[in-house]
Structures are given as structure tokens and as C-alpha cells.
Amino acid sequence: MSSNPREPKSDPSMRPTSISVLIVSGLAAAALGWLLISFSYGSLPDLPWSPVIVLVVLAIAEALLAQNTSARIQRKPGTLPVDPLAVARYVALAKASSLVGAISVGFSAGLVIYLALEPTQAAHADLPKAVGGLISALALVGAALWLERACRVPEKPDAKDENDSDRPTGHR
């Protein structure tokens, strides 16, 4: 170990997704969405439903994966053991999905706000699709964070600590 306090310490473990990173990403995407739509709304085609469908399918898939993985990691009866490499892949998927979902939430929120304030009929016709995008993106963020949490190894009390607690206190 280096004695220089300025050197970064190497920690091979993966950190949980930072909620603040998700919020900042979402806010930046909301601002970008607002700007893009406000400068080009008259020339854009109608919003499609396909992004909503894709986000919903991803959210459902990750929620099912989270439920299955959690049961397998906790070794509930009737479940097979989980492959550690698969869990690492699930965590990577969850971290990426939560960021994509947060960006989609922000972009959709900016879009919803703009469309709600726009007095045209075209804007009001696109509003349900934008709200669907917002809700499905929120579902993806929730499912991704659940999957990430499901991949954590449960805390087990140390066997040494259990044996020590049975011993009387004092010196030998």
C-alpha cells in the first residue's frame, strides 16, 4: 500500500448507483428535451409509441430478473444457485439501464412540460405518448435499481463473531 495520501486507493468492488448522478442526468436531459422540442416542434412528426413499448418491455424484463435473482441469491427453496458471473452481468445491466432510464425520464419530463404548455392540437395529441414515455422510463429506473439491489450478497453474521458472543467477557 502506498503512503502517499494523494494517490487514489484501488477498490475492486462496484459501488451502488448514485441517486444524485441519476437526478443530475435526468435534469440535464429535461433541459435538453425542452430546448430541442421548443426549437423544432413545428417541423417534427407525431411522436411514436415505440419508445414507450421498448421501455416497458425492458422494465418488465428487469423486474422479473430482479425477482428471480433475489430468490436465487437468498437460496430460497426450489431455486437453483446463481452463477456469480451472471450476477456481475446483471449489475452492469442494471447500472446502465438506470442511467438510460433517468435520461429518458428527464427528456420525457421536458417534453411533457413543453407539450402541456403548448396550445396547439398537435401538442395535445402527442401528450399521451410523452406521458407514457415518462411513466415507462420511471418504471425502468425502478426495475433497474431493484435488480441492482437484488444482486447484493446478503449479509451473514461472521461465524467468529457468533462464537465470540458466547464467551464471557474478560481476560483469559
The tens digit of pLDDT for each residue in 120-138 reads: 888 888 899 999 999 999 9
pTM metric for this prediction: 0.78
- C-alpha grid cell, residue 165: 458472543
Cα 34 to Cα 49, 54, 80, 113, 152: the distances in Å are 19, 22, 47, 8, 37
Rounded mean pLDDT of 154-160?
Answer: 63
Residue predicted with more confidence, 163 or 47: 47
At 9 the pLDDT is: 62
* 62-109 per-position pLDDT tens digit: 999 999 998 888 888 888 888 889 888 999 999 999 999 999 999 999
Rounded mean pLDDT of 105-122?
Answer: 89
The answer, yes or no, to whether residue 149 has pLDDT greater than 70, is: yes
